[in-house]
Amino acid sequence: MNRVILFNKPFGVLSQFTDKGTQGSARPTLSGFIDEPGFYPAGRLDKDSEGLLVLTDNGALQARIAHPKYKRPKTYLVQVEGTPDAAALDALRKGVTLKDGKTAPATITQIDPPADLWERDPPVRFRKSVPDAWLEITIREGRNRQVRRMTAHVGLPTLRLIRSQIGDWRLNQMRPGTWRWASETGA
């Protein structure tokens, strides 16, 4: 049986076990949170994003989780700067054309601010003169910084991005920096 770990990646943590960046930088990595040999992340979250990261000790399962050809849905809670209008939400639902091509249609819902959300460290920078809103966005692709680029394309820059679900695996009530075991087929 393949082993699966669900991890709530904190803001600022790299989605890898070692920092291959510039010499002398001491950026936090997965090794500061997970001490299980042989596990690798199935997909990535950039260091500025938070939330669900799935890790496994099986390369074939890792590919089935992460590779876009399997079209596994990924759901994000996205705080955006500005007030979404119907045209912006409709454009995201239909797919927007980015530098690397048109995105597949996404499922978009404007939501209330999540009630049980943890504080981010450092806090999100707010501008008192500009409103913000929360969206729930589900995509079936995995392009580099895709959700951030999609929201920026429609004039709604992302302030905070939290992946809450991959396929049937859900973040649920996990706090940042914690992990738990999960089944291969779902959480």
User: Would you list the DSSP string of 42-73?
Assistant: SS---TT-EEEEEEES-HHHHHHHH-GGG---
Give the gyration radius of the chain's Cα atoms: 17
Mean pLDDT of 23-31: 82
**In whole angstroms, what is the distance from residue 160 CA to residue 148 CA?**
9
What CATH number belongs to 1-70+171-182?
3.30.70.580
Q: Tell me the per-residue pLDDT of 126-177, one tens digit each, with 9 for 90 and over.
A: 777 789 999 999 999 878 899 999 999 999 999 999 999 999 999 999 999 9
CATH homologous superfamily, domain 73-166: Alpha-L RNA-binding motif (3.30.70.1560)
Q: Given 35, 46, 121, 168, which residue is catalytic?
A: 46
DSSP 74-101: EEEEEEEES---HHHHHHHHH--EETTE
Percentage of the residues of the chain whose pLDDT score is greater than 90: 72
Structure tokens at 80: 């955006």
Ordered by start, the domain boundaries in the chain are 1-70+171-182, 73-166
Q: Is 132 a catalytic residue?
A: no
Torsion over CA of 54, 58, 59 and 60, rounded to 10 degrees? -100
What's the pTM value of the predicted model, to 2 decimals? 0.93
